[in-house]
Amino acid sequence: MAQFLSFTKTVMKNLFSKPVTTAYPAAPKIYPERTRGHVEIQIESCIMCGMCMRSCPPGAIEVKRNENSWSINRFDCVQCGYCVEKCPKKSLSIVPGYTTPDSKKSIETIIKQSDGTEGEKKDA
């Protein structure tokens, strides 16, 4: 009988209190200031030096100078921020929020045009 009464107290408390869950799909998630997020590049200012590629611990970034392309394997990236720290032109930044989950590995490639603007983005 004592268990029944304590259960009723919990039910009544939850029935008349605000929900503790968030309305995630309807309201966008607000990330705290120090959330790691994901790596983004401003390809216009990138000089294709490869410092980000050499400083990446898991080897998730690949820079191909001859093709003017910058690639990141989002599945392998651990969002440590070393690539952002080492970039001499500050082309890389960590943006709050995470990339959407996917069922397969993909490599995001961004190609820099000859005039310096961002070309096509493709997933391999």
Report how far residue 72's alpha carbon sits from residue 62's, in angstroms, rounded to the nearest whole number: 6
Other Cβ atoms less than 10 A from the Cβ of 54: the count is 13
Q: What angle do CA 67, 93, 37 make, to 5 degrees?
A: 115
Q: If you classify domain 28-123 with CATH, what class do you get? A: alpha beta
Per-residue pLDDT band for 26 (boundaries 50, 70, 90) equals confident
pTM of the model: 0.70
pLDDT the model gives residue 123: 66
pLDDT in tens, 61-113: 999 999 999 999 988 999 999 999 999 999 999 988 877 777 888 899 999 98
Average pLDDT value for the chain: 85
Confidence tier at 116 by pLDDT (50, 70, 90):
low
Whole-number Cα distances in Å, 77 to 9, 60, 106? 47, 5, 12
Give me the residue spans of the domains in the chain: 28-123
Interacting residues of 26 by C-beta distance below 8 A, sequence separation 6+ = none
Q: Which helix (H) or strand (E) holds 95?
A: strand 92-95
